[in-house]
């Protein structure tokens, strides 16, 4: 297995990397709304120490008092210091590679770009490269700590861009407080980058810097501390108002804090319908009102209110919404009690919100609350915004990120919160259930669907407002490209989905009482992939259908005890098995099992395929399939295959599930069937028959069995490319094949690996899956007369949908 890991390019996986990755991914959950960036700008007396981190109890504790500080320092200093590195995207293994990467070959793209400047996007990384730029004047809650001290934050931002949207980043820390010097430094770097993310720059300079750069640069410039919080909080506020039965145009809102984030929030809320006259803005000096002279700026003056209220307490009376972008503990329970019915409180200071979550709920049980913390519901987290906004902007080569694009991102997030949450997200949050409402207003940071929705909305808005230099012309195709960033399995399955949609079939699910099956059925219906048949009593499944908003008219529900065809199936099963001692009475008993009943439906033509095994062991599903459906004509044995996908490589392994110790004839049949499976996924099969021996190098019956299987395949299917017996490294590593076996048809490019027995095949696929990081589709049951596929126990809903789509395509082909 170490050979396979090495030759598939996975040898660099190490324990240290896994530990660091785990630590980093865990830390994402603690990311804040970034409202704490603005504390120094607002002039509040108590800046926050962001070395304090929220723990699971909801308390905060200084890192210096426990091991967290040491863990953070070790995380950043261990191994290669820092969190990022530059990795080549082109081969660099040979002298020719290097000659193409640098001189003399590099001159060619240089001349092409000189002739056509737009080709810089074609020949360089500009189109996927963002600069995260700061001068360190407002770093988190730490304030003006300097450019170098802010670098760990900028590296962290780079990691988030890459992790969530596959955007490459250079972090740039500029050692200047001079606004003109900063602007000029950024401006002259425009040829290098596709976009600019401004970060941790103090107000009011941040306003001037962004406005000036947007005016002179033809690439997106985005100050996340302003607009990220605005976009995410606006999505949450839109949904909170819907839950409360209120509208933007009617509500009275109080905003605590008057820095960059607060001003940006107000401007976006107004775009969504908030009336300016219904806003009271409060800073550390009190209400910002018309005529106030103390500590005013043009940005505060823009939102000065005509009001006699002067304190934050005054402002709260009768307010519908409070948005906190200021300091912890400044809001008291009595202030929340004075608000209107179903008050909305967004206390986004971090790590301590303006009012603790528990205090607000105790004061007003009808409160709808969000914070910047991950240990309470409705975390307003900027990571839901900037990676995906830039993804959409880069992909259409937008010249700016305008208000319409920001609004589109916010609306896309708000809409996504109303959709059913995938299993992968639930697992990331301890299988906690999320349903749209008071406690779930916006998606979670680990919701991969954000990548499929926000960039599309942003790119569409860019095109509609005329700032997209290369507008997306096919948004379905664009969404599929984005799905490819989430995982190769998604892209691979799209061809299968398209074929399934062309002629959907009836797929029966014996485990119709399982919630995952119901959720999968909903997707199959909505996507037009299949017509689900659920074997379950109606009174059992009706609540699940209602819970998941599945239209009962779009599914077939069958109670196997009262089904009108039951007696027909009983007689037919007894007929099929009478030579195995089965009587009609026996058949009545056997067909009380839903797996057997499902197979009889397919055998009788009342269904086109079966998907089972979610809660059952493999033999409990495959046994009735073999007894009733049997193998297709000309096939003696069924076998199981798994499709494994790595970055830049896809392979199919067999037999991973059925035949324990295959003969040469069985191995040959497995190879032929797996070649058919490969072609179903548009993979032209190049088959390697795996052994511990290379082409007769070891004389042993096990090796000779594999060689005999190769001879059988060549005789039966001479058009197939097949070699063996051969070792795994010779099958997948080109330099070994070319050096030692230059005459072999397989030159390290095998994509179908047939193993000599079930032990080796099953172990290989599981090790490659678990240690090699492969994405997996399967098990795909090969050789059945009609489609039957066995789920791995406990699989995700998406896996069930994938296998159902494969079953539909099987049924189409078997017609």
> How far, in Å, CA of 505 to CA of 525, rounded?
11
**Distance (Å, rounded) from C-alpha 715 to C-alpha 709?**
10
pLDDT of residue 234: 96
Split at pLDDT 50, 70, 90, the class of 36 is: very low
pLDDT of res. 69: 63
Paired with 774 in beta bridges are: none
* Whole-number Å distance between alpha carbons of 194 and 357: 40
- The pLDDT, as a whole number, for residue 61 is 33
Q: Is the dihedral of CA 576, 581, 583, 587 positive or negative?
A: negative
pTM for the model: 0.71
**Of 160, 203, 242, residue with least CA distance to 417:** 242
CB 774, CB 786: distance < 8 Å? no
Query: What DSSP state is assigned to residue 487?
Result: -
The strand ranges marked E within 626-711 are 639-646, 649-654, 686-690
Least confident of 303-307, 313-317, 477-481, 567-571: 477-481
Does residue 300 have an active-site annotation?
Answer: no
Q: Given pLDDT bands bounded at 50, 70 and 90, which one contains residue 39?
A: very low
Segment 486-506 mean pLDDT:
80
| Residue 137 pLDDT exceeds 90 | yes
Q: Is 440 a catalytic residue?
A: no
Instruction: Give backbone dihedrals phi and psi of 369, rounded to 5 degrees, phi first.
Output: -125, 145
Query: Are 612 and 804 within 8 A, CB to CB?
Result: no
**In the predicted model, what is the mean pLDDT of residues 431-444?**
88
Contact call for residues 111 and 53 (beta carbons, < 8 A):
no
For 71-158, list the strands marked E by DSSP: 129-134
Which range is least confidently modeled, 100-104, 177-181, 615-619, 635-639?
A: 615-619
Examine the pLDDT at 33 and tell me if it is beyond 70.
Answer: no
Q: Residue 490 — pLDDT band, cuts 50, 70, 90?
A: low
Inform me whether the pLDDT recorded for 687 exceeds 70: yes
Mean pLDDT calculated for residue range 663-668? 97
User: DSSP alpha helices (H): ranges in 508-583?
Assistant: 515-527, 538-547, 566-576
Task: Please give the backbone phi and psi of residue 648, each rounded to the nearest 5 degrees, phi first.
Answer: 80, 5
Greatest pairwise CA separation for the chain in angstroms: 99
Tens of pLDDT along 108-127?
999 999 999 999 999 999 99
How far is Cα 348 from Cα 32, in angstroms, rounded to an integer? 8
pLDDT of 511 strictly over 50: yes
Beta bridge mates, 652: 643, 752
Rounded Cα–Cα distance for residues 659 and 754 (Å): 12
Mean pLDDT of 577-591: 92
Averaged pLDDT, 171-191 = 97
337-348 burial code (b ≥16 CB/10 A, e <16): ebbeebbbbbbb
- Tokens standing for 783? 């050789």
d(CA 30, CA 126): 31
In the predicted structure, residue 252 carries a pLDDT above the cut 80:
yes
Q: How much of the chain exceeds pLDDT 70, in percent?
A: 90
The pLDDT value given to residue 24: 42
Is the pLDDT score of 63 beyond 80?
no
Question: What pLDDT score does 375 carry?
Answer: 82
Distance in angstroms (rounded) separating the CA atoms of residues 43 and 38 = 9
| Confidence category of residue 27, pLDDT binned at 50, 70, 90 | very low
pLDDT at 430: 67
pLDDT tens digit sequence for 188-214? 999 999 999 999 999 889 999 999 999
Two tokens at 547?
Answer: 């819970």
> CA 169, CA 272: separation in Å to the nearest integer?
32
User: Residue 815 — very low, low, confident or very high, per pLDDT cuts 50/70/90?
Assistant: low
H/E element holding 102? none
How does the average pLDDT of the chain come out, rounded? 87
The C-alpha atoms of residue 744 and residue 290 are separated, in whole angstroms, by 85
Q: What percentage of the chain carries pLDDT values higher than 90?
A: 68
What average pLDDT does range 397-414 have in this prediction? Answer: 97
Q: What's the rounded Cα separation, in Å, for the pair 186 and 206?
A: 13
pLDDT for residue 52: 27
Active-site option among 102, 123, 475, 617: 102
For residue 617, name the pLDDT band (cuts at 50, 70, 90): confident
pLDDT of residue 220: 97
Distances (CA, A) of 623 to 596, 630, 810: 9, 10, 20
Query: Residue 342: pLDDT above 60?
Result: yes
Taking the C-alpha atoms of residue 394 and residue 660, their distance in angstroms, rounded to an integer, is 51
Q: What is the Cα–Cα distance from 378 to 519, expressed in whole angstroms?
A: 24
511, burial (CB in 10 Å: exposed 0-12, middle 13-18, buried 19+): buried
> Binning pLDDT at 50, 70 and 90, where does residue 56 land?
very low
In angstroms, how far is CA 422 from the centroid of its own chain?
10
* pLDDT above 90 for 167: yes
Mean pLDDT of 99-112: 94
Mean pLDDT, range 485-499, rounded to an integer: 74
> What distance lies between CA 51 and its chain's CA centroid?
29
Q: Which residue has the higher pLDDT, 580 or 244?
A: 244
Of 157, 406, 505, 786, which residue is the catalytic one?
157
**CA atoms of 187 and 175, how far apart (whole Å):** 16
DSSP string, 32-71: --SGGGGHHHHT-S----TT-EE-TTS-EE-GGGSSHHHH
- Show the beta-strand stretches assigned E in 655-747: 686-690, 721-726
Say if residue 196 is preceded by a cis peptide, omega within 30 of 0.
no
Q: What angle do CA 712, 717, 719 make, to 5 degrees?
A: 130
- The pLDDT, as a whole number, for residue 674 is 96
Residue predicted with more confidence, 496 or 716 = 716
What is the separation, in whole angstroms, between the first and last Cα of the chain? 40
Q: Which of 93-97, 109-113, 370-374 has the lowest mean pLDDT?
A: 93-97
Asked if residue 390 lies in contact with residue 366, where contact means CB atoms within 8 angstroms, the answer is no
Distance between CA 704 and CA 710 in Å, rounded? 10
Q: Work out the average pLDDT over 33-46.
A: 33
Residues whose CB is less than 8 angstroms from the CB of residue 772 and which lie 6 or more positions away in sequence, other chains included: 4, 5, 8, 10, 13, 644, 646
Phi and psi at 321, nearest 5°, equal -135, 140
For 528: left if phi > 0, alpha if psi spans -120 to 50, otherwise beta; the answer is: left
Question: Taking 50 as the threshold, does the pLDDT of residue 45 lie above it?
Answer: no
Q: Which pair of structure tokens corresponds to residue 795?
A: 């699989």
Residue 68 has a pLDDT of: 59
Per mean pLDDT, which of 6-20, 48-62, 337-351 is the most reliable?
A: 337-351
Higher per-residue confidence, 810 vs 32: 810
Q: What gap in Å lies between CA 597 and CA 608, rounded to an integer? A: 13
Give DSSP secondary structure letters for 273-293. T--GGGEEEEETTEE-BTT--
In this predicted structure, the answer to whether residue 35 has a pLDDT above a threshold of 90 is: no
């Amino acid at each position: 297995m170490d050979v396979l890991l090495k030759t598939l390019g996975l040898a660099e996986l190490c324990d240290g990397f896994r530990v660091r990755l785990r630590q980093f991914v865990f830390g994402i959950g603690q990311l804040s709304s970034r409202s704490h960036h603005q504390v120094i700008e607002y002039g509040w007396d108590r800046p926050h120490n962001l070395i304090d981190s929220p723990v699971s109890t909801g308390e905060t504790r200084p890192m210096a008092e426990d091991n967290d500080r040491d863990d953070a320092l070790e995380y950043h200093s261990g191994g290669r210091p820092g969190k990022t590195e530059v990795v080549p995207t082109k081969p660099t293994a040979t002298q020719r590679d290097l000659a193409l990467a640098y001189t003399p070959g590099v001159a060619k793209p240089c001349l092409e770009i000189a002739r056509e400047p737009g080709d810089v996007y074609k020949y360089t990384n500009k189109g996927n490269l963002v600069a995260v730029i700061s001068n360190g004047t407002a770093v988190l809650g730490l304030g003006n700590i300097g450019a170098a001290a802010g670098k760990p934050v900028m590296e962290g931002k780079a990691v988030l861009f890459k992790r969530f949207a596959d955007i490459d980043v250079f972090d740039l820390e500029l050692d200047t407080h001079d606004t003109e010097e900063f602007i000029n430094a950024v401006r002259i770097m425009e040829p290098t980058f596709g976009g600019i993310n401004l970060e941790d720059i103090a107000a009011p300079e941040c306003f001037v810097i962004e406005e000036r750069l947007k005016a002179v640069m033809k690439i997106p410039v985005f100050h996340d501390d302003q607009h990220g919080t605005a976009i995410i909080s606006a999505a949450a506020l839109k949904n909170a108002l819907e839950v409360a039965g209120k509208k933007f145009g009617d509500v009275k809102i109080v905003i605590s804090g008057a820095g960059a984030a607060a001003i940006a929030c107000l401007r976006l809320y107004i775009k969504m319908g908030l009336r300016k006259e219904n806003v009271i803005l409060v800073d550390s000096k009190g209400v910002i009102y018309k005529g106030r002279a103390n500590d005013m700026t043009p940005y505060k003056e823009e939102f000065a209110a005509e009001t006699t209220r002067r304190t934050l307490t005054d402002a709260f009376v009768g307010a519908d919404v409070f948005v906190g972008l200021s300091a912890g503990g400044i809001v008291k329970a009595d202030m929340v009690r004075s608000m209107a019915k179903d008050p909305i409180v967004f206390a986004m200071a971090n790590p301590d919100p303006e009012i603790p979550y528990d205090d607000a709920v105790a004061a007003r049980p009808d409160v709808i609350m969000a914070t910047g913390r991950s240990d309470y519901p409705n975390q307003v987290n900027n990571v839901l915004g900037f990676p995906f906004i830039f993804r959409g902007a880069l992909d259409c080569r937008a010249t700016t990120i305008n208000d319409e694009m920001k609004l589109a991102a916010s609306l896309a997030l708000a809409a996504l919160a109303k959709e059913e949450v995938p299993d992968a997200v639930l697992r990331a949050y301890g299988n906690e259930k999320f349903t749209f409402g008071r406690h779930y207003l916006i998606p979670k940071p680990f919701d991969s669907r954000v990548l499929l929705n926000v960039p599309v909305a942003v790119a569409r808005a860019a095109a509609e407002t005329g700032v997209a230099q290369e507008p997306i012309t096919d948004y379905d195709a664009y969404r599929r490209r984005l799905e490819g960033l989430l995982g190769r399995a998604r892209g691979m399955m799209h061809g299968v989905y398209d074929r399934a949609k062309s002629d959907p079939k009836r797929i029966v699910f014996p485990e119709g009482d399982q919630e995952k099956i119901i959720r999968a059925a909903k997707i199959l219906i909505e996507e037009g992939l299949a017509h689900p048949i659920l074997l379950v009593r109606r009174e059992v499944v009706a609540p699940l259908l209602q819970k998941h908003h599945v239209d009962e008219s779009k599914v077939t529900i069958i109670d196997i005890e009262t089904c009108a065809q039951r007696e027909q199936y009983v007689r037919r099963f007894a007929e099929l098995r009478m030579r195995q001692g089965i009587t009609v009475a026996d058949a009545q008993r056997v067909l009380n099992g839903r797996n057997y009943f499902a197979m009889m439906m397919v055998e009788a033509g009342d269904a086109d395929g079966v998907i089972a095994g979610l809660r059952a062991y493999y033999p409990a599903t495959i046994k009735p399939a073999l007894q009733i459906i049997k193998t297709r004509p000309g096939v003696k044995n069924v076998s199981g295959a798994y499709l494994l996908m790595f970055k830049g490589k896809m392979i199919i392994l067999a037999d991973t599930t059925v035949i324990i110790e295959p003969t040469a004839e069985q191995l040959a049949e497995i190879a032929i069937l797996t070649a058919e499976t490969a072609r179903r996924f548009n993979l032209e099969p190049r088959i390697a028959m795996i052994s511990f021996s290379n082409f007769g190098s070891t004389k042993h019956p096990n090796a000779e069995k594999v060689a005999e299987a190769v001879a059988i395949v060549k005789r039966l299917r001479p058009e197939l490319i097949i070699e063996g017996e051969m070792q795994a490294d010779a099958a997948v590593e080109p330099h070994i094949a070319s050096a030692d076996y230059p005459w072999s048809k397989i030159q390290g490019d095998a994509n179908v690996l047939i193993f000599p027995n079930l032990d080796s095949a099953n172990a290989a696929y599981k090790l490659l899956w678990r240690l090699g990081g492969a994405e997996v589709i399967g098990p795909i049951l090969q050789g059945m007369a009609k489609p039957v596929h066995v789920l791995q126990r406990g699989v995700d809903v998406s896996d069930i949908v994938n296998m159902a789509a494969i079953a539909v395509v099987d049924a189409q082909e078997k017609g």
